C-alpha cells in the first residue's frame, strides 16, 4: 500500500497568450484530470468581440473553440476538461493558446491533477 500524495501541477500564465505545462516522466503509469481555463475581460460594448482557446497535448491539437465574448463590463471564460492516461516512463506536455478580438486576456490557467 502506498501513502504517496497524488501529483498536482499548476501553471498560471496571467494575461499571456501561450501557456506551457510540462509534467515530467515517472516510473509508473498515471492518469491526469486536465483543466484549462481562459478568462477575458469583456468590453462595455462587446459587438464583434470573441475569444478562443486551443489545447495541445504532447504536441498535437486536442481541442479548439472560439466563442463570442459576452457579459459586458465583466469577465467571460472558456474552459476545457479532459482525462489523460500517461504511460510508464512518459511525461505530459500541455500547451494552451489563447486568442482574442475586442476582449482583453486576463488569465490563462492549466492544471493537471493525478486521479
| DSSP assigned state of 25 | P
Burial of 20 (C-beta count, 10 Å sphere; 0-12/13-18/19+): middle
At 1 the pLDDT is 43
Which triple of cell numbers denotes residue 27?
516510473
At 11 the pLDDT is 98
Kindly give the confidence (pLDDT) of every residue in the chain, 115 residues in length, as a single tens digit, with 9 standing for 90 and above.
Answer: 455 899 999 999 999 999 999 999 999 999 999 999 999 999 998 889 999 999 999 999 999 999 999 989 999 999 999 999 999 999 999 999 999 999 999 999 999 999 9
Measure the CA–CA gap between 31 and 112, rounded to whole angstroms.
Answer: 9
At 31 the pLDDT is 98
Architecture of the CATH domain 8-114? Sandwich (2.60)
Which triple of cell numbers denotes residue 71?
457579459
List the chain domain ranges: 8-114
At 2 the pLDDT is 52
Amino acid at each position: 500500500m502506498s501513502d504517496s500524495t497524488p501529483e498536482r501541477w499548476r501553471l498560471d500564465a496571467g494575461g499571456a497568450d501561450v501557456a506551457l505545462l510540462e509534467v515530467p516522466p515517472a516510473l509508473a503509469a498515471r492518469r491526469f484530470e486536465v483543466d484549462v481555463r481562459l478568462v477575458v475581460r469583456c468590453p462595455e460594448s462587446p459587438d464583434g468581440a470573441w475569444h478562443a482557446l486551443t489545447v495541445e497535448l504532447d504536441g498535437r491539437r486536442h481541442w479548439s473553440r472560439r466563442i463570442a465574448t459576452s457579459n459586458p463590463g465583466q469577465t467571460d471564460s472558456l474552459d476545457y476538461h479532459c482525462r489523460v492516461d500517461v504511460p510508464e516512463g512518459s511525461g505530459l506536455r500541455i500547451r494552451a493558446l489563447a486568442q482574442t478580438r475586442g476582449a482583453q486576456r486576463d488569465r490563462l490557467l492549466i492544471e493537471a491533477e493525478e486521479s
